[in-house]
Amino acid sequence: MEGLPAGVPVSLDDIRADLARRKLGYGRGARMKFEEDELTISGGVRFGETMGSPIAIRIGNTEWPRWVDVMSASPVDVESLPKGRGAPLTRPRPGHADLVGMQKYGFDEARNVLERASARETAARVALGAVARKFLGELGITLVSHTLSIGTVRVPEGSDLPTPTDVATLDADLVRCFDPATSARMVTLIDGAQKDGDTLGGVVEVLAYGVPPGLGSYVHWDRRLDSQLAAALMGIQAIKGVEVGDGFLTTTRPGSQAHDELVTDGSLISRLSDKAGGTEGGMSTGTVLRVRAGMKPIATVPHALRTVDVATGQAAEAHHQRSDVCAVPAAGVVAEAMVALVLANSVIEKFGGDSVPETARNLESYLASIPAAQRTAQTYDERA
C-alpha cells in the first residue's frame, strides 16, 4: 500500500482480527477451518506506526506445503503429482472463471485459472483495508458492514441501521445480520441449501460514519466517489450489482419523494432523510455513506451443474471438491475493506499530508473554512 501518511497506528493484531472476521459466517466451507493466515508486516511500519513509506504485508498460508509440487514454479513430472490435487481440471464450472480463463490464456485445464480467480485473494484486500481503516479512524471516520439479505430472506425495509459500535455484535451473529429474527431465517435457509446440495447469494451493506463532505468529484467521471465505490465493490469476486443509498428503489419514486430535502434550524442545515446514501454529484455529502453489493450464488454447486469435459468433448458434470454454501457474510467484510481503501484514497487526494496530524489539520481547516450558512448538522454536530 502506497501513499498513507506517517503515524497511523498499525499492529499485527489489528490485521489478524480483520482476517479472522473475513473467515466468519455460517455456510463457509471446510477450507476456512484448516487454513491459517500467517501474517508478516515486511515494510512501512516501525514500532507499531506507519512511516510514510510503502506498506508491505505478506499472508502465508499454512496449507501451502501440500501444494508445493502441484503449483511448482519449476517444471515437474505431471505423472508424479498426487492423484486428487494434481489431476487436470477439464470440467469447467458454469459461473466461475474456469472456461473463459482457459480460452483466454491457452490452458488445456483450469488449475492455473481457479487458484488465481479464487476469492482467497480477498485476504490481501482485507489486510490492507484494515490499515486503511486505522488511518480513517484517526480522522473520525468509522465503518461497519452487515448482511441485508441471503437468497430471498431479507431484513425488513426500514429496520435500524447498525453503527460502528455494533461491529462486535454483528461479528458474533452467524450471518452478520443486525436483525436477530431475520438472521435465524437466513441460517435455516443456508441449512436447507446445504442439504439440497445448493448454494446461495445475497446482499451486503457498508456504512461509513464521519465522512466529511466533498470527497470525490463532480468534475471527473473516474474520480466520482460513487463511481470509485462501484468499481471497488464490483471488483470483488461474484459481486454482480452495486447500489448507492436506496439505489434501484429510488428509481421507482417520483422526484418529489426521491431526494433528501434540506431544512435549517436557523444555524445548521439538515437533510430530512438519507435516501441518497451520502453522495450527491459524485461527492460525499457529509451524511452517513451507505452502499450495497449484491453477490451471486457460489458457482461450485455441489448438486453439480451441466458442463462439457474439454478433454473429451463429452457432456459432463462440473468439477466439485468442496465449496462454500454461502459466503455473503464474508463478502460483507471484504466490501468494508474495499470501501475503506476507496475512502482512504479519496481523503489523501483531497487533504494530502505526510503525517496523520498534518492530514487531520488539513481536514479540520477545510471544515472550518465552509461558510456558516452552508454547514450541515451531521458533519458539524458529530465532529464537535
Ligand X SMILES: Cc1cc2nc3c(=O)[nH]c(=O)nc-3n(C[C@H](O)[C@H](O)[C@H](O)COP(=O)(O)O)c2cc1C
238 contributes a contact to ligand X by CB under 6 A: yes
Which pairing describes strands 283-284 and 315-317: parallel, antiparallel, or unpaired? unpaired
State which residue, 52 or 101, has the beta carbon closest to ligand X: 101
Q: With beta carbons less than 8 A apart as the criterion, state whether 14 and 187 touch.
A: no
State which residue, 277 or 294, has the beta carbon closest to ligand EPS: 294
DSSP state of 107: -
Q: Is 297 annotated as a binding residue?
A: yes
Q: What does 123 bind: ligand X, ligand EPS, none (CB cut-off 5 to 8 Å by kind)?
A: ligand EPS
Could you tell me which stretch among 57-65, 80-88, 89-97, 125-133 binds ligand X (CB under 6 A)?
A: 89-97
Q: With beta carbons less than 8 A apart as the criterion, state whether 292 and 245 touch.
A: no
Q: Which of 211, 330, 337, 343 binds ligand X (CB under 6 A)?
A: 330
Report the alpha-carbon distance of residue 185 to residue 183 in Å, rounded. 5
In whole angstroms, how close is the CB of 324 to ligand EPS at the nearest point? Answer: 6
DSSP state of 63: T
Residues contacting 102, CB < 8 A, separation 6+: 92, 108, 109, 110, 113, 310
Q: What does 331 bind: ligand EPS, ligand X, none (CB cut-off 5 to 8 Å by kind)?
A: ligand X
Q: Which of 128, 155, 186, 299 binds ligand X (CB under 6 A)?
A: 299
247 contributes a contact to ligand EPS by CB under 6 A: no
31 contributes a contact to ligand EPS by CB under 6 A: yes
Q: Is the Cα dihedral 156, 203, 126, 199 positive or negative?
A: positive
83 contributes a contact to ligand EPS by CB under 6 A: no
Residues 203-232 interacting with ligand EPS (rule: CB under 6 A):
none
Report the alpha-carbon distance of residue 27 to residue 22 in Å, rounded. 13
Report the alpha-carbon distance of residue 321 to residue 317 in Å, rounded. 12
300 contributes a contact to ligand X by CB under 6 A: yes
For 270, the grid coordinates are: 439538515
Q: With beta carbons less than 8 A apart as the criterion, state whether 175 and 153 touch.
A: no
3-state SS assignment for residue 375: coil
Residues 287-306 interacting with ligand EPS (rule: CB under 6 A):
300
- Residues at the contact surface with ligand X, assessed by CB under 6 A: 29, 95-97, 117-119, 122, 236-238, 298-300, 323-324, 327, 330-331, 334
- Residues at the contact surface with ligand EPS, assessed by CB under 6 A: 29, 31, 118-120, 123, 237, 300, 322-324
Binding residues for NADP(+): 22, 28
